[in-house]
Amino acid sequence: MELKQKDLVHTQELATVNADKFDVRRFNELYKMASGLRNVCHANAKTPHFTNLVGDVWSGFYKSAPQLKEVQEELAVNHALMEKLLADEDYQRQHEMTKLDDLLSTVTSINMSKELLNWVNNNQELQEQSKQFNNIKQREKRATQDIEKAAQQLANPALNEELKKEMEGLLKRAGKRLENAQQAEKQLQQEIVQAVKALSNDELQQMIQGACQQTTDTRENINQFVGDLAGSGNADYSRLPIREQFLLAELFQSNPKMREIAELAGRFKQIAKDKHKSLHKQSIARKGVTIGNEVERLLPSELANYLLPQAKFDFMKRFGEGQSLMFDKRGKSKLGRGPIICCIDESGSMRKLDTQSKAFLIALMGIARNQRRDFAVIPFSSTVGNIEVFPKGRVSVPQLVDVCSQFMGGGTVFEEPLYAAIQLIEKDRFKQADILFITDGESRVSETMLQEYQRIKEKKGFECTAVVIGNSVRKQVVAAFADKVVSATDLFAAADVFSF
């Protein structure tokens, strides 16, 4: 991203921290990408060089070894604030988390700048000094305008003597006014610096702790939300494009519902992982001995051979030839690896479980992404909503946010989502799919529809698991099209479906 000099909101010349060209360029790039950073930079337009202060705070949290540099007088306030920040022990601890991390340094600098703004706005002395400073600036502006006016008139050779004397007097008086205003500004700058230095260590530590706690919470929310969806089984936001990281950070800091979805998704994902670990252990029952080269099934005696120098060569030879002794396995539970079609009820009665439903979907998407399974979401109420298809479980952050932001409301019908699921299964991508049907409502399925459903089901060989929430659903209606019916008070009580 090429930025021209005129587009820079923060420059090396106006920095109080040792920011090099790369640092300044990166801050300006992040300013373009992160609306939260732009908003905080413009939140206090009346305070001179506040955007540069935000840039300094970012440098303090981003750079590996930030240091103060000598600056001109107009930056003395920023210098005083950064001096206190960089010397604080809490800052130094938190800096280990944020350094060289675009997201964390930016989010922390936004949070810290907001904390500083709140402190300034609640400090009566600084507010009064700010008013005085702005008045002085207005005096300087008027004096400068008068000087320019007088100089322009005096440059006119046709100016008569009377007007010439008047302009010379104006020039002299305006010059004196400008000098007095500049002296007053210098004095006021020193007073403001002293007010900033009066900021107690306890107050500063509370600001830092508050800012960094918000950053930690935001990082956790992002990992809970996209963990398993960012291209690996690990909860690692850094795999996401930086714009998507900022999108999520701003969303979680401003939207309580999205924060709740992220937290619940983290819980569901842990339940799903625990469930799959349990199923994996059950699926490998040790029964007898065979030969092969699967490390996780090697006999303890073979592992001992690997560790013994005198036996290691023989072990490596047999392992390479697939002749090592290992436990035989007996499959107790065949884990499905086909596509997943999730029909999820979004009727009015499900609104109370909406955040839980969205978190549950995210956990299912994580399973699909890890196992490279095609995944489809069919929301329904009195009709079918927008059907989303995610090949191999791949989903972008905007798609995920869109899924979580929708809710249909209305009544409940079963036939339309079942028909939509069948249509998907008729396609090659979902020909080996199974259906997960989640509802808390009551509906009916016609005999004609059931006959057609059973015909296609027998032909395609798919299975349907239904999660019935609460007591409003007539289970015999659901049992007519579902192979397995799970009754639950909420989705946390339906953890068994994560073996789906």
pLDDT, tens digit, for every residue of 435-476? 999 999 889 999 999 999 999 999 888 999 999 998 877 888
Closest alpha carbon to 53 in 100, 115, 103, 95: 115
Q: What is the mean pLDDT of the chain?
A: 87
Task: Say if residue 415's pLDDT is above 90.
Answer: yes
Residue the block writes with tokens 């007010």: 195
Q: For residues 456 and 365, is the Cβ–Cβ distance under 8 A?
A: no
Give dist(CA 377, CA 152) in Å, integer: 72
pLDDT at 447: 93
Based on the fold, state whether residues 395 and 448 are members of the same structural domain: yes
Q: How many residues does the chain have?
A: 500
Quick: pLDDT tens for 306-326. 888 888 889 898 898 888 888
Closest alpha carbon to 377 in 350, 347, 348, 399: 399
Based on the fold, state whether residues 416 and 452 are members of the same structural domain: yes
Report helix, strand or coil for 330. Answer: strand
Give dist(CA 115, CA 85) in Å, integer: 12
Give dist(CA 176, CA 34) in Å, integer: 45
pLDDT band at residue 156 using 50, 70 and 90 as cut-offs: confident
Residue the block writes with tokens 């519902």: 257
Give dist(CA 405, CA 399) in Å, integer: 10
Residue the block writes with tokens 């490596």: 316
Based on the fold, state whether residues 399 and 449 are members of the same structural domain: yes
Which of 197, 225, 243 is at the close of a domain? 197
Query: What DSSP string runs through 447-462?
Result: HHHHHHHHHHHHHHT-
Residue the block writes with tokens 């842990």: 270
Which of 277, 311, 330 is at the close of a domain? 330
Based on the fold, state whether residues 115 and 222 are members of the same structural domain: yes
Based on the fold, state whether residues 301 and 354 are members of the same structural domain: no
Which phi and psi angles does 34 have, rounded to 5°?
-110, 110
Give me the CATH number covering residue 344. Answer: 3.40.50.410
Based on the fold, state whether residues 353 and 314 are members of the same structural domain: no
Based on the fold, state whether residues 495 and 389 are members of the same structural domain: yes
Based on the fold, state whether residues 185 and 312 are members of the same structural domain: no
pLDDT band at residue 125 using 50, 70 and 90 as cut-offs: confident
Q: Is residue 260 part of a domain?
A: no
What beta strand segments (E) does 381-439 contain?
A: 388-390, 434-439
- The domain in which residue 416 lies consists of 340-499
Based on the fold, state whether residues 189 and 311 are members of the same structural domain: no
Beta sheet of 434-439, edge-to-edge order: 388-390, 375-380, 340-345, 434-439, 464-469, 484-488
Whole-Å CA distances, 478 to 208, 333, 418, 468: 54, 25, 11, 8
- pTM (two decimals): 0.76
What's the rounded mean pLDDT across residues 252-258?
94
pLDDT at 259: 95
Based on the fold, state whether residues 237 and 128 are members of the same structural domain: no
Report helix, strand or coil for 290. Answer: strand
Q: What's the structural domain count of the chain?
A: 4
Quick: pLDDT tens for 45-89. 667 788 999 999 999 999 999 999 988 888 888 999 999 999 999
